Chains A and B, each alone.
Chain A
Amino acid sequence: MDSPALLCESLVKVYPPDVRAVDGLDLEVPRGECFGLLGPNGAGKTTTVEICEGLLEPTSGRVEILGRRWADAGRALRLRIGVSLQETRLPEKASALETARLFRSFYDDGLEPLEVLREVGLESKADAWVGKLSGGQKRRLEIACALVGRPELLFLDEPTTGLDPQARRQLWEVIRRLRAEGRTVLLTTHYMDEAEQLCDRVAIIDKGRVIALGSPEELIGALGGDRVLEVVLDGPAPPPDESFWRERVQDVCEARVDGDRALLSVNRPHIAIPSLLEAIAAAGRSLEDLKTRHATLEDVFLKLTGRTLEGESR
């Protein structure tokens, strides 16, 4: 049990002609951890996960799953991991229970099909055809199919993408329970809140590399202020540049301008806000909107890359 659940060393995947989807990536996930790969679309998360799942060959680098390598232990490893891919559309004319039973039949031992449906809260839909399930229910069924072999290591690739908030929260519950059972989970997401809610540790991935690694609290703490002031000024003129905020407002550790907003990382809002108001008045501007919130992984990503997770720089 001393080997980590997952180990990647200098992983590289090049798609011809010269797209480096994964570009020298190192990861180590100890057993029992819920680990998140967080990054924007196209960061290389899915490629990384599929290499770890043994579905893709890396161009170079080393992968060890549960202490073994895919080349030596293909089927033996498949018996011990569970996988939920992006964009699987399970056959529609089978019921949820029939689907779970099919996947159960591939494993030497595992959970009862009905039991695994209960685990993901689909017991009442056992006899419904897959085609009649909602998006969130289908996703939970896919996770059930990943769980049915009682895997030691579970890969969930974008488990909640495209779901409505309620369905996402239901899935989070499922994943939290898995984590509480002490299973190792590797999930990818481009939702920062999901990573913060679910993961013990997070690797932030951009352009095929790990650009930050740690628990969500550590990463946010490293911003230098765990509160963020979002400032929008009146009038068409853009907000003053970053040095204005850093020099004129007290307690600002970090300032960024993102479109018409200025984002200020602070530790003590009760000190920062009065001096902020003074600075704005002195500059002859007035406030249209001021929000304070906790710093998130989104702010971490923005600080590291200058871009947001959801898309390009605004």
Chain B
Amino acid sequence: MRWQAFRELLLDRLRQFHREPEVIFWVYLFPLLLIAGLGVAFSEDGPKPVLVRVVADSPERTAELARQLASPEIETETAGLDQLDRAGMGGRWDLTIVARDGGVEYRLDPQQPESRLARELADRALQQSQGRVDPVSTTTVAEVRPGSRYIDWVIPGLLGLNILGSSMWGVGFTLVDLRIRKVLKRLSATPMRHGDFLLALLASRMLFLALEVVAILAFGRLVFHMPIVGDPLSIAGLCFLGACSFSAISLLTGARADKLETVTGLMNAIQVPMWIASGVFFSADRFPPVVQPLIQLLPLTQLNNGLRAILLEGHNLLDEAAAVGVLSAWGIVCFAAALRLFRWQ
């Protein structure tokens, strides 16, 4: 009898969620589509050759240069001198080689790592074709580390992103919607225990979380053969902790707002910086050292770091003390603040 209200409140949350087809799409299908899209865009079928454009004043000279460059790592295309400047800088090639009297000229954008690699490869091929002999004999052995592909790296980030998003919408938005509909007020006029309500809201969140995590990881595993080396308990534990932390942030976001515009704006203000800075699509290390302490304090950064370490490198939860600490701190502080500020009407 004591838990009947909790059970009914939980059932009510589950029903409201599952009877909303758009929600199913955005929470379950959209992340999978995103992963599929990124997976296709960044799939790598073996090393890709660099593309070198060869320019000379005669077709014979061009052909000769192209022959000297020939190697599996270099792909060439040829052009006349007259095309040299006309095409502008926006070409697909990584490097342009222009034949000059007694040598060649390399043209490249030094900002692009691919271009610098192309120059080294082309230079070596040209020098060796002219008889340069390297003093040290070298061999190369391919050694592919599992989990080093972009898709392997990005799936934990998208998982973190999804935990953030669904917690924010599932808690804050729901609360404000219920407040606007005066359902919160109506409930507070019943003998319902307030704790039961919040507990049911969080419990429904956690049930959906389990489904989201399983869906994303299973998709990554089955479709992209992403390696998952961490133990399930640590994976589940960190996802749970992340969801608790974000739910607390979301509870605080929705503690007082009484307009959907307000809560949507607040949620975006919280989420967008983390989408960019927390290493979802590209590494957070790219930001300058000055802002790194700040970035490392963001909960999503820590969740993503922890997920990658556990999923890809086989760490366990205890190894990820920074993630556990930062996520717990956000969760506890926001939950305490939300309880003080919460308004039922």
Residues of A within 8 A of B (CB): 53-55, 75, 78-79, 83, 85, 87-91, 93-94, 98, 101-108, 129, 145, 149
Contact = CB atoms under 8 A, between A and B. Distances in A.
A55 B190 CA distance: 10
A107 B12 contact: no
15 contacts: A55-B189, A75-B191, A85-B189, A88-B183, A91-B12, A93-B15, A93-B19, A94-B12, A98-B11, A98-B15, A101-B8, A102-B8, A102-B11, A106-B190, A107-B191
A91 B8 CA distance: 14
A145 B5 CA distance: 14
B185 interface: yes
B182 A88 contact: yes
Interface residues of B, number: 25
Max count, chain A CB within 10 A of own CB: residue among B1, B185, B186: B186
A101 B19 CA distance: 18
Contacts of A108: 1, 191
Contacts of A105: 4-5, 7-9
B189 A90 contact: no
A89 B181 contact: yes
Interface in B1-32: 1, 4-5, 7-9, 11-12, 15-16, 19-20
Contacts of B16: 91, 93-94
Contacts of B5: 105-106
Contacts of A79: 191
Nearest to A83: B189
User: A-side binding surface: helix, strand, loop or mixed?
Assistant: loop
Interface string B83-121: 000000000000000000000000000000000000000
A90 B186 CA distance: 9
Contact of B192 (A53, A93, A106): A106
A135 to B, nearest CB: 15
Max count, chain B CB within 10 A of own CB: residue among A54, A101, A106, A108: A106
A65 to B, nearest CB: 12
Given A91-B181, A105-B7, 10 more contacts: A75-B191, A78-B191, A85-B182, A88-B185, A90-B183, A93-B15, A94-B12, A102-B9, A104-B8, A129-B19
A83 B190 CA distance: 8
B8 A88 contact: no
B296 interface: no
A78 B189 CA distance: 7
A106 B185 CA distance: 15
B268 interface: no
B12 A102 contact: yes
A83 B8 contact: no
B345 interface: yes
A91 B183 contact: yes
B188 interface: yes
A227 to B, nearest CB: 43
Contacts of A104: 8
